[in-house]
Amino acid sequence: MQIRKLGNSSLEVSALGLGCMRMSFGDSPIGDKQAMIAFLHQAVERGITFFDTAEVYGPFTNEELVGEALEPFRGQVVIATKFGFKHGDGTGPSPSTGLDSRPEQIKRVAEASLKRLRVEAIDLFYQHRVDPNVPIEDVAGAVKDLIQAGKVKHFGLSEAGANTIRRAHAVQPVTALQSEYSMWWRSPEAEILPTCEELGIGFVPFSPLGRGYLTGKIDETATFDKSDVRSTSPRFTPEALKANKVVIDLITRIGEHKNATPAQIALAWLLAQQPWIVPIPGSRKLERLDENLGAVNISLTAEDLREIDSALAQMSIQGDRYAAQMNQLTQK
């Protein structure tokens, strides 16, 4: 497994991480606990050292799963978790649960996450979403206190805008920014990636396979359980799925020349953008994990990348990535 460094920090992780949310939270059916523990062990055996969870996934159950599964590998793996949401009915991050990044809440969450993750220090502690009611300087200051106390090692932000990143970084250096980024969501290229490069911040794309669409296995006939976030996403209506097939056609064609699947091309494209980008595709099946890991060994030439970028520039991706209420929680 190739190793990458997140920005100018000392934090080194596997070139591909693993998003753990869907192992115990999200679309039905969720994974069997013992099967997911075994799966996480297999991920470590394959060289993955970077695992992503959050307090709100459940809430709490995902951190507990990750903590139990990775306890035998303490010191060998990096676990990232997140703070920033209140907890209401347990349905997850939505405006109904509310945001809460008050310093006292951040410190309370850290103490609880340490116990669930079974670690002495949180490797990477992200603010899950920017809280408009709490100055980002106060958020960064609270995490700085936790770092000085030895309870957190690195500070991260998720879905934050460029100005917010700069303000936070001035108080406590930001190690990584986690935001959605893929072939069909390239918004970070305008301001976010240049800001990260300038400040020496690593970038961690979530949903690097477009919530499964870029695997090429979803078409306009797909249906989604009401527990699945895609069931309310404008990007996953039959009309949008059909219109956006041009992206799948592109990466399928590139893959045929590289003896690679569409998913592998989509991940290889992300890895080729910058050496400090570390995607975290989510998976619950070993065959999908192995497929994703194959992307690390795919080399896209400068000509390949120009061809892809030229083709993508001519496409107009249909549909917002979130329903309106979730869009309110991004890029502030």
Domain CATH code at residue 301: 3.20.20.100
Tens digit of each residue's pLDDT (9 = 90 or more) over 93-117: 444 458 999 999 999 999 999 999 9
Q: Greater confidence, 325 or 61?
A: 61
User: Which residue in the list 57, 126, 181, 213 is annotated as catalytic?
Assistant: 57
Instruction: Identify which of 31, 107, 24, 108 has the alpha carbon closest to the alpha carbon of residue 67.
Output: 24
Full residue range of the structural domain in which residue 185 is found? 3-327
Q: What pLDDT score does 326 carry?
A: 61
Tens digit of each residue's pLDDT (9 = 90 or more) over 170-191: 999 999 999 999 999 999 999 9
Q: Which has the minimum average pLDDT: 111-115, 254-258, 324-328?
A: 324-328
Q: What pLDDT score does 48 carry?
A: 98
Contact 235, 319 (CB under 8 A): yes
Tens digit of each residue's pLDDT (9 = 90 or more) over 132-151: 999 999 999 999 999 999 99
Calculate what percentage of the chain has a pLDDT beyond 70.
94
**Distance between CA 181 and CA 230 in Å, rounded?**
16
Mean pLDDT of the chain: 92
Tens digit of each residue's pLDDT (9 = 90 or more) over 276-297: 999 999 999 999 999 999 999 9
**Distance between CA 25 and CA 227 in Å, rounded?**
10
Q: Specify if 320 maps to a domain.
A: yes
Q: Specify if 129 maps to a domain.
A: yes
Question: Is 181 annotated as catalytic?
Answer: no
Q: Specify if 114 maps to a domain.
A: yes
Q: What pLDDT score does 27 carry?
A: 72
Q: What pLDDT score does 276 carry?
A: 98
Q: Specify if 332 maps to a domain.
A: no
Q: Specify if 40 maps to a domain.
A: yes
Total count of domains within the chain? 1
Q: Specify if 136 maps to a domain.
A: yes
Q: Which has the minimum average pLDDT: 89-98, 307-316, 322-331?
A: 89-98
Distances (CA, A) of 9 to 175, 217, 220: 6, 37, 43
DSSP state of 299: P
Q: Specify if 54 maps to a domain.
A: yes
Mean pLDDT of 111-124: 98
Mean pLDDT of 203-226: 92
Model confidence at 91: pLDDT above 60: no
Q: Which helix (H) or strand (E) holds 79?
A: strand 78-83
